[in-house]
Amino acid sequence: MNVINVMWSGGAPYMSVHTVHQQMLRHLGDDVEIANWLLLGNGLCNGAGSVREWHMPTRALKGRRLWSLLMPLLRARLRVALEQERPDAILIDGLGVARLILPLMRHLPETRVTVLFHGTTRLRGKDVRLLRGLAPGQLCLAAVSQTLARSMEQVLGRSVQTLRIALDPSAFALDLLDRGQARRALALPDRPGRVFGAVGRLVPSKSFEMLVKAFAQARQSQPDIRLVIMGDGEMKAQLQSRCDELGLGDSLLLCGYRSDVSRLYRAFDWLLIPSRSEGLGLVLQEGVMADVPVLCSDLSVFREQLGEAGCYIPVGDQTAWTRAIVACNGLDASATAAVQRRALAPEQAWLAFRHSSKALLQG
């Protein structure tokens, strides 16, 4: 069996997507030939199989203005390559890549295609027609959470399978640093006070600016608390300005992107996830598997994973987040983490993911 894994791009912003796809592909077995195609950029690391970088124009891929005239040429290049490869299966990263690849599949009727949706997606009329255009026997649609799958089914009127992403808890635990090691890696001074952590891209949907303001309010009554935000993105300068404006000094650390982020969760006493929306939220899983208690936005996708064990805060409610941060002082962090781990059941989730991803790609 040979499989082509078509990704939008490489680099740090896409590493979580790459991780998910690589874990899916590894479950197919050692006898499967895998080729990874990156339409933009580079940076696919530790991946299974070969890597081909296409270096396509970003504006053309997104269909912007006159650049959209290049789309037929890009598809022609891909069609030639696909007809040469004649893959048994293609794994596609989300709607943007699907728009480019799916129109070519009429030339490869024997190839099975799986489109995996990682987050909320605005489906236009032509997108719906595109995703309805291939027969279920050739095209499989899947989403990383039941919440996302059900919302897409309502729009598409066709089945969307749930592939609940899970991480290998044994491998994850092996790489974790203990609290002291993780804090030294982050150059956190050894002083009293709880350390809160947040992880993710610095974009509006993660709601980090609201979190910074909520933290600043909480610090008025608990001046020894600290907040560490790990991630990079378009809002970095804006967040730094907000921190300066609020006079937070070294009580708030913007670490930027770190490739070793998954090893560092135990630097935190509590993990904060204030997102406005998420397809799944792997950060939540990583925090729970590191035995760090999680406070998160009240999103259906988080309730899907933690049920009654979650500590949920109304989305975007700065005052509620301030109260929740302050209230952590009176909570048993270890007991909360233990309850959340039992709810997530990472060992069972990992086994289910291995079985489901293999079945999905093999049809």
Longest dimension (CA), the chain: 66
CB-CB contact of 274 with 204 (8 Å): no
According to the model, what pLDDT value does residue 309 have?
97
CB-CB contact of 22 with 52 (8 Å): no
Q: Could you report the per-residue pLDDT of 162-188, keeping only the tens digit for each?
A: 999 999 999 999 999 999 999 999 999
How far apart, in whole angstroms, are the C-alpha atoms of residue 360 and residue 348?
A: 18
CB-CB contact of 230 with 264 (8 Å): yes
According to the model, what pLDDT value does residue 69 have?
82
CB atoms closer than 10 angstroms to residue 65: 9
According to the model, what pLDDT value does residue 43 have?
66
Kindly write down the DSSP assignment for every residue of 111-165, as one continuous string: -EEEEEE-S-----HHHHHHHHHS-TTTEEEEESSHHHHHHHHHHHSS--EE---
The dihedral formed by the CA atoms of 14, 16, 17 and 21, expressed in degrees to the nearest 10: 130
CB-CB contact of 328 with 149 (8 Å): no
How far apart, in whole angstroms, are the C-alpha atoms of residue 112 and residue 105?
A: 9
**Residue entry with tokens 């069609």:** 79
Domain 2-163 part of CATH 3.40.50.2000: yes
User: What does the domain layout of the chain look like in residue ranges?
Assistant: 2-163, 169-346
- Both tokens of 84, joined, read 């040469």
Q: Where does 124-273 show beta strands of DSSP type E? A: 139-143, 161-162, 195-199, 226-230, 252-256, 270-273
Residues 169-346, CATH architecture: 3-Layer(aba) Sandwich (3.40)
DSSP 27: T
CB atoms closer than 10 angstroms to residue 27: 19
According to the model, what pLDDT value does residue 47 have?
65
Counting as low any pLDDT under 70, the low residues of the chain are 43-47
CB-CB contact of 235 with 203 (8 Å): yes
How far apart, in whole angstroms, are the C-alpha atoms of residue 46 and residue 167?
A: 16
Burial of 354 (0-12, 13-18, 19+ CB in 10 A): middle
In 3-state terms, what secondary structure has residue 28? Answer: coil
According to the model, what pLDDT value does residue 49 have?
84
Instruction: Tally the residues of the chain.
Output: 363
The reply to whether domains 2-163 and 169-346 share a CATH topology is yes
